[in-house]
Amino acid sequence: MDKKKVKLRLENISQSYVVNNKVFDAVSDISLDVYDNEFLVILGPGHCGKSVLLNIIGGLEKSVEGNTYLDGEKLVGSDKRIGMVFQKLALMPWKTVMGNVEFGLQMAGVNKDIRRETAQKYIDLVGLKGFEKSYPNQLSGGMKQRVGIARAYTNNPEILVMDEPFGQLDAQTRYSMEEEVQRIWQQEKRTVIFVTNNIEEAVYLGDRIVLLSECPATVKEIYDIDLPRPRDTIDPKFLSIRKEISENTDLAL
């Protein structure tokens, strides 16, 4: 068995805030290894610690304690090697789909033709071919999320972090997006850290599931999901894992 390469390491991460003259602990001493090209799901109850953890990984917040290491190198601030897909409102309404997707490369000063080509590849990958000139307010919720994913991919990050990207979508769209993400990931493999509060989604997508506790967030348990892809949500093995996890959490489905 190959020793899997550690892509991202979180070491003793703690985060707390001073709110109304009281200290509020959001994350308490989380240590975690994320392996290269794995699809890691972080599962936890709503609004406590998950997004904070992601922000720390993405360099949008500085943790009170602890460090993150990418390929052994300590991370300081935002790093282009870590791309993020946000839950909502992440598209620039004044830019077209193409404009949004190529934004990162534009920031990096990449030549226009190369930029366009790369962006087009990922627009096609997420299934939005033909919508390059559309504006965000002409797109549905699911389509907007796809643009977000395409944009993140276009920057060619080494790690893709997704912060509950389907939280705002209706159930049907959510299922189809889960399939999409799964498909895209299999086609263009890279390390993904995916955050959700939905157990079914977690089991469907993840190679491993990190279960977080209630506030302050700590690692409660880590599950290895060894099912073949694409997964069948009514497969008995799937359901038993799902049951196991749900009993272990205080989450309602």
Partner 1 sequence: MDQPKKKFSNEERIAFVQNQKRKSQYFLAMLSVIGVLGFFLIWQISVSTGLLSEKFLASPLAIFNLFVVKLTDPAPDGAVLGVNVLASLQVSLTGFLLAIIIGIPLGLLMGWYRGFDSFMRPVFEIIRPIPPISWIPLTIVWLGIGLQAKAFIVFFSAFVPCVINAYTGIKQTNPVLINVAKTCGASNFTIFRKIGIPSSMTMTFAGIKVALGNAWATLVAAEMLSASAGLGYMILMGRQFARPDIIILGIVVIGIIGTLFTAILNMVENKVLGWKKL
Rule CB under 8 A: is residue 108 a binding residue for partner 1? yes
What count of Cα atoms within 13 Å lies in the side-chain half-sphere of residue 249? Answer: 30
Does residue number 139 form part of the binding site for partner 1 (CB under 8 A)? Answer: no
Among 44, 45, 49, 83, binds partner 1 (CB under 8 A): 83
Q: Both tokens of residue 194?
A: 């995916």
Decide if residue 114 touches partner 1 (CB under 8 A): no
Give the binding-site size for partner 1 (rule: CB under 8 A).
25
Q: Is 76 in the site for partner 1 (CB under 8 A)?
A: no
Stretch that binds partner 1, among 35-43, 76-84, 190-198, 205-213 (CB under 8 A): 76-84
Is 154 in contact with 101 (CB distance < 8 Å)? yes
Choose the stretch contacting partner 1; rule: CB under 8 A; options: 15-23, 74-82, 205-213, 233-241.
74-82
Q: Please report whether residue 45 would count as binding partner 1 according to CB under 8 A.
A: no
List the structure tokens of 62: 């500085």
Q: C-alpha angle with apex 173: 168 to 178, nearest 5 degrees?
A: 90
Tokens of 8: 């991202």
Of residues 106, 113, 52, 60, the one with CA closest to residue 83: 60
The least CB distance from residue 240 to partner 1, in Å, is 37
Quick check: 226 binds partner 1 (CB under 8 A)? Answer: no
- Contact segment (CB under 8 A) with partner 1 among 11-19, 89-97, 215-223, 238-246 equals 89-97
Residue 214 CA, chain-centre distance (Å), reads 20
Sign of CA dihedral 178, 181, 185, 190: negative
Question: Considering only residues 76, 92, 114, 222, which one is a binding residue for partner 1 as defined by CB under 8 A?
Answer: 92
User: Distance between CA atoms of 210 and 224, rounded to whole angstroms?
Assistant: 9
Residue from 89, 171, 234, 253 in contact with partner 1 (CB under 8 A): 89
Q: Which stretch binds partner 1 (CB under 8 A): 29-37, 77-85, 124-132, 225-233?
A: 77-85
If 0-12 CB within 10 Å is exposed, 13-18 middle and 19+ buried, where does residue 42 land?
buried
By CB under 8 A, residue 111 contacts partner 1: no
The strand pairing partners of 85, in sequence order, are 162
165 lines the binding site for partner 1 (CB under 8 A): no
Stretch that binds partner 1, among 54-62, 64-72, 176-184, 200-208 (CB under 8 A): 54-62
- Would you say 72 or 94 has its CB closer to partner 1? 94
- Residue from the set 45, 58, 206, 216 that interacts with partner 1 by CB under 8 A: 58
Kindly report the CA angle at 87 between 68 and 39, in degrees rounded to 5?
50
Q: Give the whole-angstrom CA distance, residue 145 versus residue 136.
A: 10
